[in-house]
Amino acid sequence: MTLEFPFDPLKRSEEVENQVTSGDKRLYYRFRAAPYYGGIATADAVGCSFLCAYCWNYNRNLHPERFQQFYSPQQVADKLLHIAQKKSFRLFRISGAEPILGEKTFTHLIEVLRLINLSKPDSLFILETNGFFLGYQTDLLNKFREFPNLKVRICLKGIDHNSFEHMTGAQNDFFRFPLTALKELEKLGVRTWPALMGDLFSREEINEFEKLLEESGIHSQLELEYLEAYPFVLDNMRKRKIRC
């Protein structure tokens, strides 16, 4: 797939979704017990609507076609439940990629959620998403109300149009889509919160951004996360001329 920066993330989402799905199956490359949130069963997928300079899974998301193993929702749920049982975890997530690229991946995710909920009603699924497609197609959000054991963490990539384009590689017109997703989720009463890479912005910029969130009708507290400074991440940041 040819990719020129900045790209149209809607077009990219569609193309990537076609690469990483086959029927109701999606490409994953690993299932693991991860230490985050105090211990969480994690399915690592490939394929994203963005291509963030600081993505720890950059090369896999740049070349999802290198992976071959498609998993059905039942297979994903079984693997995650097995890890959770072995490690006495109650938390679950999909990582490494964007879980929702379009309607096919959304349906796959909902089925994984349903199966985990059915087998383990005391579970908590933390949906880590860039919020892009959810902000584009807000009618999907209603479905989340069926899952009280779901929390949605929307990872925001920039504090304004320019930083959004610079970090994600996606055209800056799409900056507001994740904010729309957050606002609508809050309105629906779905548990959600925004996260931002804290070490890429000054305290003043973050304060201003918090004001923008509030003015946009987003009231949940902003979480600051910190960069995983792998050498290839620093190299990608240098190439995009991002200071860190």
- Residue span 54-73 as binding mask against ligand SF4, x where in contact by CB under 6 A, dash where not: -x-x---x------------
For residue 168, give both structure tokens: 């994600």
* Least distance to ligand SF4, CB of residue 8, Å: 15
- Residue 80 or 97: which CB sits closer to ligand SF4? 97
48, 116, 150, 196: residue in contact with ligand SF4 (rule CB under 6 A) = 48
**Phi, psi for residue 44 in degrees, rounded to 5:** -95, 120
Q: Residue with structure tokens 């300079």?
A: 53
Q: How far apart are CA 194 and CA 176, in angstroms?
A: 13
Contact assessment for residue 179 and residue 213, using Cβ atoms and an 8 Å cutoff: yes
Contact assessment for residue 136 and residue 160, using Cβ atoms and an 8 Å cutoff: no
Q: Any contact of residue 213 with ligand SF4 (CB under 6 A)?
A: no
- Residue span 126-145 as binding mask against ligand SF4, x where in contact by CB under 6 A, dash where not: ----x---------------
Q: How far apart are CA 174 and CA 153, in angstroms?
A: 19
Q: How far apart are CA 75 and CA 185, in angstroms?
A: 28
- Residue span 70-109 as binding mask against ligand SF4, x where in contact by CB under 6 A, dash where not: ---------------------------xx-----------
For residue 28, give both structure tokens: 């994953």
51, 159, 179, 233: residue in contact with ligand SF4 (rule CB under 6 A) = 51
Q: Which positions lie near ligand SF4, rule CB under 6 A?
A: 48, 50-52, 55, 57, 61, 97-98, 130
